[in-house]
Amino acid sequence: MTHSLVGDVQRALGNFAAAMASYEAGRTISERLVSGDPSNVSWQRGLASDDEKLARLRDTEGDLDGSLQLYRASLDRMARVRNREPQNADVQRFMAKTMLQIGLVQAGQGKLEEALATQEQVLALLERLVAADPENAEQQAELAGTHGAVAATLVKLDRRAEAREHFRKAADLLAPLIARSPDNATWQALHQGFLKIIGLIEE
């Protein structure tokens, strides 16, 4: 954890080489913990998180192939955990966030159809989680954000009618959440942003 936090600070300061070294040192420790207790979900998740920090850094440096490889390693690791604990919603949410990052990298590589397919998998996963726990506001917000991500990719593919539908679904999901939590500035900003984009697409 300490190496990871140091790496976060170094990355924020723009010292990417030092951040990379800190993240890799933290990952070495996580690997050691996992090898000693492979069934420990927390250790597995920690190692997956280390991979994702390295992936984000490689993305920042323009190494999209390296970033994608690390995100997929994280996803594969958590998929094995999910197979052992299929009812663990936290693990599935972690996977959903990783898949969203994979979609962003694919889009950055210009592979828009692949990015869309990945994002649609995330939609299906989050829809199942929301159906299983309809009172979980955070999951609903994540579903709304994913509709927004799908819509953004559809806009790039010039599929504007479909994009508008997903932006509308995103806004509709956020509206009742905001009604229950009117002080949530993040949800407010997202909702307003989606409505504005809908208006631009309809012009």
End-to-end Cα spacing for the chain: 49
In angstroms, the CA 49 to CA 43 distance is 10
Domain ranges of the chain: 1-86, 113-203
What number is the average pLDDT over the span 100-126? Answer: 97
Q: Find the DSSP H helices in the chain.
A: 2-12, 16-36, 41-60, 64-84, 89-108, 112-132, 137-156, 160-180, 185-202
- The CATH classification number of 113-203 equals 1.20.58
Across all residues in the chain, what is the average pLDDT? Answer: 93
What number is the average pLDDT over the span 57-82? Answer: 94
CB atoms within 10 A of CB 46: 20
pLDDT band of 119, cuts 50, 70, 90: very high
Q: Fold match between 1-86 and 113-203?
A: no
Q: Which residue has the higher pLDDT, 6 or 129?
A: 129
pLDDT band of 73, cuts 50, 70, 90: very high
89-120 burial code (b ≥16 CB/10 A, e <16) = eebbbbbbbbbbbbbbbbbeeebeebbbebbe
- Provide the pLDDT for residue 6: 87
- Provide the pLDDT for residue 1: 60
What number is the average pLDDT over the span 140-145? Answer: 96
Lookup: tokens for 180: 């229950």
Q: What are phi and psi of 162, to 5 degrees?
A: -65, -40
Q: What is the pTM of this model?
A: 0.89
Lookup: tokens for 182: 């009117």
Per-residue pLDDT of 182-201, as tens digits, reads: 999 999 999 999 999 999 98
- The CATH classification number of 1-86 equals 1.25.40.10
Task: Out of 2-11, 88-97, 117-126, pick the least confident.
Answer: 2-11
Is residue 203 scored above 80 in pLDDT? Answer: no
